[in-house]
Structure 1
Amino acid sequence: MGLYIILPLAGLTLGWTIRWLYARFQLTASEQRAERIKQDAIKEAEAKKKEILLEAKEQLIRERNQQERETRERRVELQRYERRVMQKEEVIDKKIAQIEKTELGLAERDKFLQEREKALEAQEERYKAELERISGLSREEAKAIIIQSLENEAKHDAQSLLNKIEQEANLAAEKKARDILITTIQRLATEVTGEVTVTTVSLPNDEMKGRIIGREGRNIRTLETLTGVDVIIDDTPEAVVISCFDPVRREIAKVALERLITDGRIHPARIEEVVQKVSREISQKIFEEGEKVLFDLGLHNMNQEAIKTLGRLYFRTSYGQNVLYHSKEVAIIAGMLAAEIGANREIAKRGALLHDIGKGVESDSDLNHAEIGMDIARKLGEDPRVINAIGSHHNDVEPSCIESVIVQIADAISAARPGARRETLDNYIKRLENLENIAESFSGVDKAYAIQAGRELRILVNHEAVNDEQSKELAKQIAKKIETDLQYPGRIKVTIIRETRIVEYAR
């Protein structure tokens, strides 16, 4: 029994001992393996350390070699730069030496020139003193004479060249203008005189004057009130005079009075009836005359008010010339001139037709008919060139296009042709005499002649008393004197003629 207990205990003890020994053995083996791993790691780390150190040394050596190589290259480059700088310094030194040498030569030359200049100045002073002694003139007087001589010579040469250019240009322009005007005049066919509105009504007998006046003057008052005119009944046999600044109202009164005289029934009711009927007829006639002119000229796109204003010119006269017929004639001439020189015919004709349209408007303003015409054309939406042609035909504004100049020329041609206008002989002669007297009142004028119905004043001057420059100033002064002292239609051209005539006879 005891054996049975001891044997298991001994076996258990032996087994535990064996297990302990095995565990101890395993622990020892693990420790040895760990130690070996540790030692291997230490050796590997040492080897890696040595390898890294070797690589670092090699890298350091490479970098040191690279730095030494770059240093050598930089040293070589610096040496090359140093040699170049030294060479440049040598060149600069040579140039400085050469410049110093040149400066020294220039200083010596300058000194020589200064001495020479002083000698020349002294010699010049001697010459000037000798010249002053010989000529009897001071230096300033001689200088003034020379300058004046040069100035006169330069002015003479410039004026000669200017006169030559002007003569050549005038000859060429005059020939071309003459050809164009001759062609235009040959193509123009118009009446020599236009219809003139009269203000005198003929009566069958003097008894008719009493019937026109009526009982207590009621008939004549009714006629004057309805028409806005003054009926003048004087001692003129078998005639009465109608006075009114408005030509349309004057025409209405004239026609109405003629019909009343023909009808024989003259009383306020009949007068009112006839005046109303004649007013409608005259209004229609105004419109028809305006349309007729537009149709004859081939112009379109004009509104009703413009046509009526244009038609009113039929009853206006200027120096005996019917204004509407004058405007039509100017438009025809302007169209021909524009066609000859290649300008715009439509613009030229419209500007010419409307150039006196301001005369057909009743206005209390201080504006002249050209300025009023410009306002009308502007309100009608006309082309700016047409507006400028209206305003510039009497030079109230400056012409801005060739069509405006054409209208000026056409207006002058229409007004200046024989029979276009009439003026009393006494006034005409008096105006020409005044023109000539004004010109002859100026010093240096030998003779003055008023030509072209007083539109041009030709003046002959004394060539010894008046030179070319003074001739221009004299023309301006005479023109200004005429503008100040005289009243005249249109423009007056002032022409100064200065010539030298030398006559010799061969015997």
Structure 2
Amino acid sequence: MEIVPIIILTMVFGILGLAIGYFIRKNLAEGKLNRAEELATKIIIDAERDAENNKRNLLLEAKEEIHKMRDVATREVNVRREELQKMETRLLSKEDLLDKKGLSLERKEEQIQNLKDSILEKEKSAEDLLLARTTELERVSSLTQDEAKQLLLAELEGSLIQESALMIRENEQKVKDESRKIAQNVIVHAIQRIAADQVAESTVSVVNLPNDEMKGRIIGREGRNIRAIESLTGVDLIIDDTPEAVVLSSFDPIRREIARLTLERLVQDGRIHPTRIEDTIEKSRQEVEQVIKESGEQAAYDAGVHGLHPELIKYLGRLKYRTSYGQNVLKHSVEVSQIAGLLADEIGIDSKLARRAGLLHDIGKSIDHEVEGPHVDIGVDLARKYKEPEAVINGIEAHHGDVEFTSLESVLVQAADAISAARPGARRETIESYIKRLEQLEEIANSFDGVEKSYAVQAGREVRIIVKPEVISEAEVVTTARKVVKEIEAQLDFPGQIKVNVVRETRAIDYAK
């Protein structure tokens, strides 16, 4: 029984403890809550106070900034106002000046008008006086004004024509004499500096044999060796009764040179059969190509021309095996280049351009056996293909006088070409063919109606034609010259160019007694 009260007391005390703890915790929580509320209220008050302070500071800063901007704007307005005032002052002064000038111009206009009226009056009086004098002169001379004018003009025209003809003739003769002296000095000086050996090139390739038995070995069994050589080289072998010699014939000098080297090596080696022939031809072709390249480079070096395209150098080297009237075309091209350069130095123009055009002027002859057309057109196409200057292209195109010259360098190339071809020994030609060409020139000229006499002069480079003035008029002289030129071009083969000089002369002979 004693245990129950104890348990009850324990439970009562436990409930009391719990109630007391609850109240204690509640009081503590309420105290913390109150303190938190006080702290929050304090923070809010501090924040509001700080915000108010910041607001006041920002307002103060904004007001200061507004004051500063207002001061700057005020100063700018003042500056603009001062500038406007100055401009207004200048405009006013200019307006005053213009007003003064306007008044001055008005006064001048009045003076000019008065002067004009005075001049008109004087002109009227002068016209009246002139009319009166003219009337009086007509009455005295019994001629009208137009008749007197025509008579005076006729007399003046006659005297002026005579005087002008004399002056023109004197000046022309003077210019011709001076030009001839200058040209002779320049050309002689250039030729002396470029003096070269006489040319004696041969267009026939002959291979010497050690004995006539070698001819049989070259022909081979049933002609297989000679057929192999001819088919691989494109060259005809002429084996005739000429002792110890074989003649090579081909329109292409490169092929002829390859065949010559091949045949010489085969003869020297002694082993002649189709396989050996093929190998030897290939080696000879490579050697000729190397010689062509080296010859082109050497020619460009000798001429003083740099920067040529490698393909142009090869085409230039091919001219080593090309001849024209016995003159080696490569040597001729180098000579023309040097003469053109010397002439250009003498007269003070671009000598480098003249040398370049002179070196390339006959470049078309390197492939004129392979490409259709005259060598001039072929050379122009090659120069354009490899981007040569227009002056060089014109020098190639005009060196035979087919087109107009566009530069002085082109003129010098034509002159240098004629000098190189015409100097003694430059081109080989028999006396019979030379005389025959001169006779043909005169025959062609004499075949035209109205021709009195004709003379082939300057070694056949000029034909001088005397025509009958009563048959051929002044206007027909030009057409006659052109007809003779066309006929010469159609009937004759000639190096360079031929000048056709038609002379029509009327002579009046009288005797003073």
Contact kept, 8 Å, 1:194 with 1:325, in 2: the verdict is: no
Deviations 1:327-348 (A, max 9, x none): 0010110110000000101100
Specify the code of the residue in structure 2 equivalent to 1:249: R
1:274 aligns with 2:317: no
Contact kept, 8 Å, 1:351 with 1:404, in 2: the verdict is: yes
Runs of 5+ consecutive residues of structure 1 not aligned to the other structure: 1-101, 124-147
Aligned equivalents of 1:406, 1:479: Cα separation in 2? 23
Aligned equivalents of 2:508, 2:336: Cα separation in 1? 42
SS of equivalent to 2:488: helix
Partner of residue 465, structure 2: 459
The counterpart of 1:376, out of the listed 368, 378, 382, is 382
The counterpart of 2:338, out of the listed 332, 336, 339, is 332
User: TM-score, length-normalised on structure 2?
Assistant: 0.64
Q: Greater CA deviation, 421-430 or 341-350? A: 421-430
Contact kept, 8 Å, 2:356 with 2:392, in 1: the verdict is: yes
SS of equivalent to 1:459: strand
Specify the code of the residue in structure 2 equivalent to 1:258: E
In the TM superposition, what is the alpha-carbon distance from 1:353 to its structure 2 partner?
0.3
**Residues 150/229 of structure 1: CA separation in 2 closer, same or farther (3 Å cut):** farther
In the TM superposition, what is the alpha-carbon distance from 1:451 to its structure 2 partner?
2.1
In the TM superposition, what is the alpha-carbon distance from 1:413 to its structure 2 partner?
0.2
1:392 aligns with 2:398: yes
Q: How do 1:85-124 and structure 2 match up within 5 A?
A: none
Aligned equivalents of 2:371, 2:313: Cα separation in 1? 22
Aligned equivalents of 2:426, 2:475: Cα separation in 1? 39
Contact kept, 8 Å, 2:251 with 2:369, in 1: the verdict is: no
Aligned equivalents of 1:236, 1:149: Cα separation in 2? 84
Contact kept, 8 Å, 1:463 with 1:500, in 2: the verdict is: no
**Residues 334/234 of structure 1: CA separation in 2 closer, same or farther (3 Å cut):** same
Contact kept, 8 Å, 1:197 with 1:251, in 2: the verdict is: no
In the TM superposition, what is the alpha-carbon distance from 1:366 to its structure 2 partner?
3.8
Q: How do 1:308-327 and structure 2 match up within 5 A?
A: 308-327=314-333
Partner of residue 199, structure 1: 205
**Residues 153/231 of structure 1: CA separation in 2 closer, same or farther (3 Å cut):** farther
Partner of residue 347, structure 1: 353
Aligned equivalents of 2:405, 2:348: Cα separation in 1? 18
1:261 aligns with 2:267: yes
In the TM superposition, what is the alpha-carbon distance from 1:407 to its structure 2 partner?
0.3
Contact kept, 8 Å, 2:236 with 2:248, in 1: the verdict is: yes
In the TM superposition, what is the alpha-carbon distance from 1:469 to its structure 2 partner?
6.7
Aligned equivalents of 1:364, 1:267: Cα separation in 2? 30
Deviations 1:203-237 (A, max 9, x none): 23332221111011110111112212121223333
Q: Greater CA deviation, 148-157 or 236-245? A: 148-157
**Residues 381/474 of structure 1: CA separation in 2 closer, same or farther (3 Å cut):** closer
Deviations 1:94-123 (A, max 9, x none): xxxxxxxx9xxx9xx9xxx9xx99xx99x9
Q: Greater CA deviation, 198-207 or 465-474? A: 465-474
Partner of residue 47, structure 2: none
Partner of residue 242, structure 2: 236
Specify the code of the residue in structure 1 equivalent to 2:392: V
SS of equivalent to 1:221: helix
Contact kept, 8 Å, 1:314 with 1:325, in 2: the verdict is: yes
Number of matched residues? 379
Aligned equivalents of 1:322, 1:370: Cα separation in 2? 17
Contact kept, 8 Å, 2:200 with 2:428, in 1: the verdict is: no
In the TM superposition, what is the alpha-carbon distance from 1:273 to its structure 2 partner?
1.9
**Residues 464/168 of structure 1: CA separation in 2 closer, same or farther (3 Å cut):** farther
1:367 aligns with 2:377: no
Q: Greater CA deviation, 333-342 or 269-278? A: 269-278
In the TM superposition, what is the alpha-carbon distance from 1:484 to its structure 2 partner?
4.3
1:403 aligns with 2:403: no
SS of equivalent to 1:495: strand
Aligned equivalents of 2:402, 2:330: Cα separation in 1? 21
**Residues 233/406 of structure 1: CA separation in 2 closer, same or farther (3 Å cut):** same
Contact kept, 8 Å, 2:350 with 2:409, in 1: the verdict is: yes
**Residues 369/153 of structure 1: CA separation in 2 closer, same or farther (3 Å cut):** farther
Contact kept, 8 Å, 1:334 with 1:352, in 2: the verdict is: yes
The counterpart of 2:228, out of the listed 203, 222, 226, is 222
**Residues 158/472 of structure 1: CA separation in 2 closer, same or farther (3 Å cut):** farther
The counterpart of 2:179, out of the listed 164, 173, 180, is 173
Q: How do 1:476-491 and structure 2 match up within 5 A?
A: 476-491=482-497
Partner of residue 188, structure 2: 182
The counterpart of 2:428, out of the listed 422, 428, 435, is 422
**Residues 149/258 of structure 1: CA separation in 2 closer, same or farther (3 Å cut):** farther
SS of equivalent to 2:211: coil
Partner of residue 447, structure 1: 453
Larger Rg: 1
1:433 aligns with 2:439: yes
Q: Greater CA deviation, 467-476 or 241-250? A: 467-476
Identity level (%): 52
Aligned equivalents of 1:272, 1:431: Cα separation in 2? 45
Partner of residue 80, structure 1: none
Q: How do 1:28-67 and structure 2 match up within 5 A?
A: none
Runs of 5+ consecutive residues of structure 2 not aligned to the other structure: 1-123, 145-153
Contact kept, 8 Å, 2:336 with 2:413, in 1: the verdict is: yes
Contact kept, 8 Å, 1:195 with 1:322, in 2: the verdict is: yes
Contact kept, 8 Å, 1:457 with 1:492, in 2: the verdict is: yes
